[in-house]
Amino acid sequence: MIKLGSTTLSLVGWLADPSQPERSRRHRLDAIRRLVTDYGLNAVELSLDLPMVYPTVFDASFYESVAELQQELGFVCSAHLPFLWIEPASLNEAVRRASCESLRQAVELTRSVTIDTYVLHLWGLATALITAQLGAGPEREAIVSALAIQAERSLADLCDILPPRDICIENLEDSHFESTLAAGNRYQTSLCFDVGHLAWHGDDPLAFLQEHSDRIREVHLHDAIRQPTGSGHAVRDHLALGDGQIDYGAIVDRLEEMRFAGAVILEVNSEADLKASLRQLRQAG
């Protein structure tokens, strides 16, 4: 049975107040409780950039409180490993090592919580930006190959502290999924299927589901609009369901046919969008 969930970002955003750590912790815990009790969700995705940005707020004691809440309410937890401001594929080895340390710290901080899946971006935002500027040819191929080697080294480091099956490599907006998939195949990791990100490439989500059904353990669901521009396509994603072009009903139907038992996380950015997305799903069902 599908476990429908959300991040807390839809209710309380990214910000916290380090000068009022207890209030900020309570605010986030209340958001988790609301997702389960007010919205009827049975999965919550923890955003682990938060403890990296606010270490005095989201410390080990905070995650012990999350674990207590999980025991009380019985929800499933996934965790999105840090991805903002880190570069697991960096050719700068010092940056790569520091990125791996951030991933390790995030895992250790959350050991008290029962976490089913850990979502991983193997390519950072700067890496995607740099490679987007490269033209076709031998230089691009050489750089992308070098980045893939670094990314795989970082994945190997993460597999030393987590079961590979619990690591879900996410398909991103960039065009490097085949490289990350190859690394995941070698280490036998799982996949996080991000429906909105697939829109960046104009790919068929049902075909993606069919091809990778045995590896997908988590789904990120949000709507997207893909429009042609003079130099290709522009995409707006992380929209409320119904505000874009994705046939989310067909995707949910296919997941149910597959008897998908993982978490489907609504990745939207406001409470209004969360409400709208749930309304759309209930109408479609």
Q: How far apart are CA 261 and CA 279, in angstroms?
A: 22
Angle between helices 205-212 and 248-257 (to 10 degrees): 20
Q: What is the mean pLDDT of the chain?
A: 92
Q: Residue 220 sits in which domain range?
A: 3-284
- Structure confidence at residue 128 (pLDDT): 76
Q: How far apart are CA 244 and CA 222, in angstroms?
A: 9
Q: At 233, which CATH number?
A: 3.20.20.150
Judge whether residue 236 has pLDDT over 90: no
Judge whether residue 201 has pLDDT over 80: no
Judge whether residue 92 has pLDDT over 90: yes
Judge whether residue 231 has pLDDT over 80: no
* Number of domains into which the chain is organized: 1
- Structure confidence at residue 222 (pLDDT): 95
DSSP secondary structure of the chain? --EEEEETHHHH-S---TTSHHHHHHHHHHHHHHHHHTT---EEEEETHHHHH-TTTS-HHHHHHHHHHHHHH--EEEEE---TT--TT-SSHHHHHHHHHHHHHHHHHTTTS-EEEEEE-SS-HHHHHHHHTPPSSHHHHHHHHHHHHHHHHHHHHHHTTS-GGGEEEEP-SSS-HHHHHHHHHHHT-EEEEEHHHHGGGT--HHHHHHHHTTTEEEEEE-EEEEEEETTEEEEEEEEPTTSSS--HHHHHHHHHHTT--SEEEE--SSHHHHHHHHHHHHHH-
User: pLDDT tens digit string along 107-134?
Assistant: 999 999 999 999 999 988 888 777 777 7
- Structure confidence at residue 230 (pLDDT): 57
- Structure confidence at residue 228 (pLDDT): 63
- Structure confidence at residue 172 (pLDDT): 85
Residue range 5-29: average pLDDT?
97
C-alpha radius of gyration, the chain, whole number:
18
The rounded Cα 111 to chain-centroid distance in angstroms is: 19
Q: How far apart are CA 46 and CA 118, in angstroms?
A: 9
Contact assessment for residue 110 and residue 119, using Cβ atoms and an 8 Å cutoff: no
Residue 198: pLDDT band with limits 50, 70, 90: confident
Judge whether residue 176 has pLDDT over 80: no
What would the two tokens of residue 132 be?
Answer: 């987007």
Judge whether residue 173 has pLDDT over 80: no
- Structure confidence at residue 174 (pLDDT): 66
Distances (CA, A) of 221 to 94, 106, 202: 34, 24, 16
In the block, which residue shows the tokens 């390790």? Answer: 104
User: pLDDT tens digit string along 60-71?
Assistant: 999 999 999 999
